[in-house]
Amino acid sequence: MTNKMKYAIGEQDFRTLVKGGYVYIDKTSFINTILEEGGKYYFLARPRRFGKSLFLSTLQYFFEGERELFKGLAVASTNWNWERYPVLRLDLNLGNYTDPDSLEAILEAYFREWETKYDIIPFTKEISTRFRHIIEQAHRKTGKRVVVLVDEYDKPLVRNISREEEFEQYRAKLASLYSNFKSSSEHLRLVFLTGVSRFSKLSIFSDLNNLNDITFDDAFADICGVTVKEINTILSPGIEKLADKLGIPVEQTERELKENYDGYRFTENGSHVYNPWSLLSCLYKGKIEYYWNDTGLPTLIAETLRRIDVNLEDTLDSYCGESDLKGLDLLNPNPTALLFQTGYLTIKDYDRRIKSYRLGLPNNEVKFGLFNVLIPYYVTTKPVEGNILVKEIARNFIFGEPEKGMKGLQSYFAGIDYAMRMDNENNFHNAFFLLMDMIGLNTATESHTSEGRIDIEIKTENYVYIIELKYDHPAEEALRQIQERNYGRKYQLDSRKLILIGASFSSKTRCIESWKILVVPRSIRRMP
């Protein structure tokens, strides 16, 4: 097998990939599954840049009878007549939706294209009635029921997540448009919608009783993303070439790819998958870097999290049921569902006894991207000064100088812009959590013990720090809690020096006010 592989980064057209000899990861077996089920209405939610558009393009060429494109692929062996069906593919990912009229402009372009293609005479400008007329006439003129593919059906809503009036305008227009899927049922062969979320207030999900939401279906777990098996069978030459360029063993390359791009899991029993956009971008450019966060609008997520005042430590390692993740009201969102559906959280485990998912950050790329976007919403200083302080704080903790480290943290918080300063205890905890992780040390937050939860743990080669934070309470009280709850017990056999720090944050000065430090010898770590 040759090491020369062609990657079409961002290409979402199935024909272009196949005809151009580009890398294509065969997902056509899922078309077989759809045909065998015989369903009519399907919905799939996945984060951006996970291959939803490419799968819809594959469906389009399949139902248009382009048999030669599928030679050698999984669906080629299916019992299918390869007749040509009328396909209406609507891609709502194209617009910015900052103007209330932008949706009509996009729909107008699509309607004209379909009317020309199927020789349909329009008789109204009203979008819902006109769409229904196109569906009915396309069926009558071809003698085949219509396939409707809607890519990013919710994009106008996601774009207006923080604009309540515009959000409602788009919701009403989309509800009117999608209502045709029920009223035109006799003319439809298949409707397949993709998006980021299943919006609870959009009538399509209540109108279509036979809608098959495959988002959490194990049979469709790998419909988007790249599995380990697909990497080993398709992408191994590219990984070998990357390892050679980086000058490291293949095993180390695979480990770094896994740490940065793997870790997504979308169903109860589904396997972990890699982000295809980031993985292929890495193989194409020959660099293990962070690619995914540059492709969307993470600032909208940050603004929403700040607006609804979430506790980041709890949210980024949380438990919830499937019903909590399925629906989403963007005007009053559940932060866990929002982060899961946008790809910042993923399923880590599932407890069948209580039917609960444990969610967490999937990989380093997502963690870096999310934290990098969130930090300015909680801790904003002048960039140069902030970077110098962060590096100095890290050195202080690494070399066992906690007094200097705490002074550095005090200086960092003192330098935060006044408008962004901590105005409540939750914002302070979020800011401290993000800052400590940004320092780059082995940092854990909200670590559980038999006696309670440790606020911050920092582990270096020679030192272990346990930090308890108090908001408008004395530092002595924070240090006393560490001692009374025996937080240091788990390190009684650890050869590293254990240092306890109780810190007080003042709502009046909006800064770290004071701290108390205690070095605990190994002989007395089992504190009474």
For 14-37, write each residue's pLDDT tens digit: 999 999 999 999 999 999 999 999
> 435-438 long-range CB contacts below 8 Å, 24 or more apart?
435/375, 435/379, 435/390, 435/409, 437/367, 437/371, 438/371, 438/375, 438/390
Identify residue 483 by its one-letter amino acid code: Q
Residue 440's pLDDT band, with cuts at 50, 70 and 90, is low
Looking at residue 330, what is its pLDDT? 62
What is the arrangement of strands in the sheet containing 87-91, beginning at the earlier edge strand?
Answer: 87-91, 146-151, 188-195, 41-45, 211-213
What is the arrangement of strands in the sheet containing 497-506, beginning at the earlier edge strand?
Answer: 442-449, 452-459, 463-471, 497-506, 511-520
Looking at residue 216, what is its pLDDT? 92
* Nearest in space to 45 (alpha carbons), one of 55, 32, 31, 57: 55
Question: Mean pLDDT throughout 42-57?
Answer: 94
The answer to whether the beta carbons of residues 387 and 440 sit under 8 Å apart is: no
Phi, psi angles (nearest 5°) of residue 136: -65, -45
For residue 304, is pLDDT > 80? no
What is the arrangement of strands in the sheet containing 317-320, beginning at the earlier edge strand?
Answer: 317-320, 356-360, 346-351
Q: What is the distance between the alpha carbons of residues 334 and 298, in angstroms, rounded to a whole number? A: 16
Looking at residue 152, what is its pLDDT? 93
Looking at residue 448, what is its pLDDT? 55
What the block records as the tokens of 432 is 């401290």
Beta-carbon contacts of 517 under 8 Å, excluding residues fewer than 6 positions away, are 402, 403, 406, 499, 500, 501
Task: Determine how many CB atoms are found less than 10 A away from the CB of residue 202.
Answer: 21
Looking at residue 491, what is its pLDDT? 86
The distance between the two most distant Cα atoms of the chain, rounded to a whole number of Å, is 89
Torsion of CA 338, 344, 345, 348, to 10 degrees: 160
Question: pTM score, two decimals?
Answer: 0.79
Question: Mean pLDDT throughout 136-162?
Answer: 93
How many residues belong to the chain?
528
Which SS3 state, helix, strand or coil, does residue 27 take?
Answer: coil
Q: What is the DSSP letter of 362?
A: -
Question: Mean pLDDT throughout 213-235?
Answer: 94
Q: What is the distance between the alpha carbons of residues 20 and 252, in angstroms, rounded to a whole number? A: 31
Q: What is the distance between the alpha carbons of residues 332 and 460, in angstroms, rounded to a whole number? A: 41
Helices (H) and strands (E) in the chain, counts: 22, 15
Burial string for 140-174 (b: 16+ CB within 10 Å, else e) reads eeeebbbbbbbbbbbbbbbbbbeeeebbebbbebb
Q: What is the distance between the alpha carbons of residues 494 and 526, in angstroms, rounded to a whole number? A: 12
For 476-522, write each residue's pLDDT tens digit: 999 999 998 888 888 888 889 999 999 998 888 778 899 999 998 76
For 69-118, write each residue's pLDDT tens digit: 999 999 998 889 999 999 999 999 888 888 878 999 999 999 999 999 99
For residue 254, is pLDDT > 90? yes
For 359-378, write each residue's pLDDT tens digit: 999 998 998 888 777 776 66
Looking at residue 288, what is its pLDDT? 95
What are the chain's domains?
A: 26-220 (3.40.50), 228-292 (no CATH), 297-365 (no CATH), 379-524 (3.40.1350)
What the block records as the tokens of 141 is 């003129």
Q: What is the distance between the alpha carbons of residues 276 and 9, in angstroms, rounded to a whole number? A: 10
How large a percentage of the chain has pLDDT more than 90? Answer: 51
Looking at residue 523, what is its pLDDT? 52
Residue with tokens 């980086």, as numbered in its chain: 246
Q: Residue 81 to residues 37, 42, 72, 77, 328: CA-CA distances in angstroms?
A: 17, 22, 17, 11, 40
